[in-house]
Amino acid sequence: MIKELRPALSLLLMLTALTGLAYPLAVTGLAQLVFPWQAQGSLIERDGHVVGSALIGQSFSGPGYFHGRPSATADQPYNAANSMGSNLAPSARALADGVTAAVQAAKAGNPGTKGPVPMDLVTASASGLDPHISPAAARFQVKRVAKARQVTEDEIEAVLAALTEGRELAILGEARVNVLMLNLALDQRWPIR
């Protein structure tokens, strides 16, 4: 019996060392060399302090800030340790009621803004952590942000245009705006008084 167990245990130890230690260390080391910013979590620093990650949304609620997509994470918004979608079917009454309430809140929070509320302001992404909104969702909020910061809408639109990211490789995905980066740029130019 020991004769049969020895090769099995040797193979188990060898594969554990290879796939459990060597491979993860090699991938981590390569990532640190080739993509150091991304491997460290794409952290954004201002004045020597980490203010967030370019990959995880944050909750902004003040009138002088652009608001991101709703977060589907439980307990607290944008909790990366609890990433998940709502798992509600398109036919679920709770989803319809939530979207209706979000549309009403978006219209009430952005008085004077014309047109329909962009879908990404009233629905959460699959992970519940999306840091981006569409340019249309950002434009929907320009009037409120400009008024709160006491600048013209054109000035806010210029910053928005400068921070709008295009499609990946010119064909993948859609144009988008990172809400954290946009709000940091506005704070740098026009701090809220």
Decide if pLDDT at 88 tops 90: no
Q: What integer is the mean pLDDT of 76-103?
A: 85
- Give the per-residue pLDDT at 133: 95
pLDDT band, residue 47 (cuts 50/70/90): confident
Among 22-31, 116-125, 157-166, where is mean pLDDT lowest?
Answer: 116-125
**Could you tell me the residue ranges of all domains in the chain?**
1-36, 41-189
Helix 153-163 to helix 135-149 angle (10° resolution) is: 140
What's this model's pTM, rounded to 2 decimal places?
0.82
Which is nearest to 55 in space by CA: 43, 46, 64?
43
Residue 51 in 3-state DSSP? strand
Two tokens at 113? 């803004």
Is residue 134 a contact partner of residue 118, using CB atoms and an 8 Å limit? yes
Find where tokens 């909750």 sit. 59
Decide if pLDDT at 118 tops 80: yes
Report the greatest alpha carbon distance in the chain: 82
Decide if pLDDT at 53 tops 80: yes
